[in-house]
Chain A
Amino acid sequence: MNRSARLVEIVAAHAGREGPLLPLLHEVQAEFGCVDGEAEAQLAHALNLSRAEVHGVVSFYHDFTATADPRPCVQLCRAEACQARGVEALVPAAQAAAGGRVKLHDVYCLGLCSVGPNARVGDQLYARLDQGSLVELIERA
């Protein structure tokens, strides 16, 4: 199935919702890896919104991206509680391990603030990271 037919399906699946744009964008992002201009235009048309309105929403939220990034992604928490537990000291080694192959993405709190430093890969969470275990996590990603 081509992308635009799939998008029609996604829109139909959320037709019963009130205010369906965010759930739609999540699904589009998950399926296509991004919400690009083409998807924006199609969603705008389907929901009877202007393209600008949809773009305004897409660009507001950190979870939606305009272009797809095929690299594996490791989210590293760099919020205060993880800073207090030493995450900043791990960052240079993590960046070196990630290189250009892995996308190292900063996030602000995973809700595990008593056992940091913490990371997330997909829906999998990792706690009590030290340099060795974080580098290993990135290399395996």
Chain B
Amino acid sequence: MTVVRISDDALALACGADAVAAAFVGAGCTVERVSSWGMHWLEPLVELDGKGFGPAVPGDVAAILNGTSAKAIGIIADHPFIARQQRLTFARAGKTRPLDLADYAATGGWAGLYRARSIGAPAIIAEMSQSGLRGRGGAGFPAGIKWQTVASAPGDRKFIVCNADEGDSGTFADRMLMEGDPFQLIEGMAIAAHAVGAGQGYIYVRSEYPHAIAKLNAAITLAAEIIAPFTIEVRVGAGAYVCGEETSLLNSIEGKRGEVRAKPPLPAHQGLFGQPTVINNVLTLAAVPHILSEGGAVLYDSHGFGRSKGTKPIQLAGNIRHGGVFETPFGITLHDLIYDIGGGTASGRPVKAVQVGGPLGAYIHPDRFDLPFDYEAYAGADALIGHGGVVVFDDTADMGKLARFAMEFCAVESCGKCTPCRIGSTRGVELIDRIRGGATAGGAVESLPQMHNAAKTPRSREADIELLEDLCETMKFGSLCALGGFTPYPVLSALRHWPEDFG
């Protein structure tokens, strides 16, 4: 019987994979539902004897089966988009059934966990440090050091918390990993638990990801015996972006408002329910089984650029022809990512700007597309890698409007704890409106007699821009967390590189 493979990833489903799968069943085929290869422009992608066809619709079934389909892309694994990658975390993408324990074990699953148990906690942490793995959630903190801190912190109980809040626009690698290879995340958490002596783990998933939640719950049940006595529970977020910030996330699991906590104490010392807690991103934890397999740490460390070690699953999104997940060692340039790999814009128009690192990331001008993908290089260019989302905009983008959107997003999502973020963001929206609208008359509040220091005469555009820059400075240095602290990045980068879009 003919076996075809079609992904059941949420993105493939959104593109119509179920109807295509049903049509193949109707044609007498066996359909295996696998994870997604991550070539999103080709979804739903049909695999038949290693060859790919996409984007498929039910009407393509006969042509695919009799070898006359015009949607053939050849051997999938040889496709340049796949062949150019170095897939460690996404090694199984497209190849295994997400909830099949036999598929997982046959592709090296659990080897890292068994080896970790045999070498013991100090050796696990030593190998984690040796691998050079840095947190994939944004801040890039060395994972080995975090684990060491939790391991040596005194506490009755310890926790492993997986940050699966993935709120950044332009990112979907966490989602794909949870849906496509949930056992790998579970294995990584079990290894972390063994390393620090934790008994309970939580995966905090955003409510926008119902498919990931279902897959994780099923996978946890299937793997329960293997990871015992460690247990894992999925917790579902409730639509607050700021709950991706680690301390806000911990408050949220505890059933509180998702307000950011002041540090210290670090979560590693007093985290969930006041106990020492490892909190890591999905991709950080999912990289662990590979690192803990025989020779994995050395191999991981051998990849990368400068102090950015290993591979990074980069997400190509927005107005790009070949969007998807591209896992590669650090150091790749935006130019290569956008043109050579991504094929330029989907609209065929020139690229105007790229936002890297989600809503808090800078807008990067094509002049800087030579920037290597590296934490330090980006920081030096007033930009951030964040979770590795790359959102491409063509020349129809209005950068002033996007700057306003960044401020508005901050205003809506602010947890409210600090003034520069809570109030500053709203003032920022008003200021950008005023700059763009050309109306610079002083506001009603400023004209009140008790506002001694406020200007009574209308401000010039230059003065308004100066005020906006000043406000951004205050937000940057006066905010407790990166929501208020980094919102100035997209705003100021847009203002600096595309002043003509500000009226």
- Is B318's CB under 8 angstroms from A81's CB? yes
Chain A interface helix/strand/loop/mixed: loop
- Is A84's CB under 8 angstroms from B238's CB? no
A18, A63, A82: the one contacting B273 at CB < 8 Å is A18
Q: Is B240 an interface residue (CB 8 A)?
A: yes
- C-beta contact mask, A59-90 vs B, less than 8 Å → 1, else 0? 01111100000000000000111111100000
A64, A80, A114, A120: the one contacting B359 at CB < 8 Å is A80
- Is B10's CB under 8 angstroms from A111's CB? yes
- Is B255's CB under 8 angstroms from A113's CB? no
Q: Is B288 an interface residue (CB 8 A)?
A: no
Chain B residues with Cβ under 8 A from A57's Cβ?
A: 255-257
Q: Is B424 an interface residue (CB 8 A)?
A: no
Chain A residues with Cβ under 8 A from B170's Cβ?
A: 79-81, 109, 113
Q: Is B336 an interface residue (CB 8 A)?
A: no
Given A22-B253, A81-B169, A84-B391, are A110 and B208 also a contact pair (CB < 8 Å)?
Answer: yes
Chain A residues with Cβ under 8 A from B393's Cβ?
A: 84
Chain B stretch 142-185: residues in CB contact (< 8 A) with chain A: 166-172, 175
Chain B residues with Cβ under 8 A from A62's Cβ?
A: 238-240
- Is B167's CB under 8 angstroms from A85's CB? no
Q: Report B248 CB to chain A, min CB distance, Å.
A: 10
Q: Is A100 an interface residue (CB 8 A)?
A: no
Chain A residues with Cβ under 8 A from B209's Cβ?
A: 111
Chain B residues with Cβ under 8 A from A125's Cβ?
A: 10-11, 13-14
Chain A stretch 84-127: residues in CB contact (< 8 A) with chain B: 84-85, 107-116, 118, 120, 123, 125-127
Q: Is A128 an interface residue (CB 8 A)?
A: yes
Q: Which residue of A lies closest to B239 (CB)?
A: A62
Q: Which residue of A lies closest to B209 (CB)?
A: A111
Chain B residues with Cβ under 8 A from A64's Cβ?
A: 238
Interface segment, one of B26-34, B319-327, B370-378: B319-327
- Is A60's CB under 8 angstroms from B258's CB? yes
Chain A residues with Cβ under 8 A from B41's Cβ?
A: 114-115
In the complex the two chains form, what is the Cα distance from A74 to B168 in whole Å? Answer: 21
- Is B257's CB under 8 angstroms from A56's CB? yes
Q: Is B389 an interface residue (CB 8 A)?
A: yes
- Is A21's CB under 8 angstroms from B389's CB? no
Q: Which residue of B lies closest to A20 (CB)?
A: B255
In the complex the two chains form, what is the Cα distance from A128 to B57 in whole Å? Answer: 14
Chain B stretch 284-317: residues in CB contact (< 8 A) with chain A: 315-317
Q: Is A19 an interface residue (CB 8 A)?
A: yes
Q: Report B136 CB to chain A, min CB distance, Å.
A: 16
Q: Is B43 an interface residue (CB 8 A)?
A: yes
Q: Which of A83, A111, A120 has most chain B Cβ within 10 Å?
A: A111
Interface size of A by Cβ–Cβ distance < 8 Å? Answer: 41
Chain A residues with Cβ under 8 A from B369's Cβ?
A: none
Q: Report B286 CB to chain A, min CB distance, Å.
A: 16
Chain A residues with Cβ under 8 A from B171's Cβ?
A: 109, 111, 113
- Is A85's CB under 8 angstroms from B346's CB? yes
Chain A residues with Cβ under 8 A from B166's Cβ?
A: 111
Q: Is A23 an interface residue (CB 8 A)?
A: yes
Q: Report A42 CB to chain B, min CB distance, Å.
A: 16
Chain B residues with Cβ under 8 A from A123's Cβ?
A: 210-211
Q: Is B230 an interface residue (CB 8 A)?
A: no
Q: Report A132 CB to chain B, min CB distance, Å.
A: 16
In the complex the two chains form, what is the Cα distance from A111 to B11 in whole Å? Answer: 8
Chain A residues with Cβ under 8 A from B11's Cβ?
A: 111-112, 114-115, 125, 127
Q: Is B99 an interface residue (CB 8 A)?
A: no
Q: Which of A18, A110, A113 has most chain B Cβ within 10 Å?
A: A113
Q: Is B467 an interface residue (CB 8 A)?
A: no
- Is A80's CB under 8 angstroms from B318's CB? yes
Q: Report B157 CB to chain A, min CB distance, Å.
A: 10
Q: Report B429 CB to chain A, min CB distance, Å.
A: 16
Q: Is B466 an interface residue (CB 8 A)?
A: no
- Is B239's CB under 8 angstroms from A114's CB? no
- Is A60's CB under 8 angstroms from B240's CB? yes
- Is A113's CB under 8 angstroms from B405's CB? no
In the complex the two chains form, what is the Cα distance from A115 to B235 in whole Å? Answer: 27
In the complex the two chains form, what is the Cα distance from A47 to B255 in whole Å? Answer: 11
Chain B residues with Cβ under 8 A from A112's Cβ?
A: 10-11, 14, 172
- C-beta contact mask, B227-248 vs A, less than 8 Å → 1, else 0? 0000001011111110000000
Q: Which residue of B lies closest to A78 (CB)?
A: B405
In the complex the two chains form, what is the Cα distance from A85 to B208 in whole Å? Answer: 20
In the complex the two chains form, what is the Cα distance from A109 to B259 in whole Å? Answer: 21
Chain A residues with Cβ under 8 A from B355's Cβ?
A: 80
In the complex the two chains form, what is the Cα distance from A12 to B481 in whole Å? Answer: 37
For the complex of A and B, list the 4 residue pairs with the smallest distance between their C-beta atoms, beginning with the closest.
Answer: A114-B323, A21-B255, A62-B239, A84-B318
| Chain A contact residues, CB within 8 Å of chain B | 17-23, 25-26, 47, 56-57, 60-64, 79-85, 107-116, 118, 120, 123, 125-128
| Chain B contact residues, CB within 8 Å of chain A | 10-11, 13-15, 40-41, 43, 166-172, 175, 207-211, 233, 235-241, 252-259, 273, 315-320, 323-324, 346, 355, 359, 389, 391-394, 397, 402, 405, 409
Q: Supply 20 A–B pairs (Cβ within 8 Å), ascending by A.
A: A19-B255, A22-B236, A22-B252, A22-B255, A23-B236, A25-B238, A57-B255, A57-B256, A60-B240, A62-B239, A107-B239, A109-B167, A111-B11, A112-B14, A113-B315, A113-B318, A113-B391, A114-B316, A114-B324, A123-B211
A22-B236, A80-B402, A113-B391 given; 9 more Cβ-contact pairs under 8 Å: A63-B207, A63-B237, A80-B405, A113-B315, A113-B323, A114-B316, A115-B11, A115-B14, A115-B15
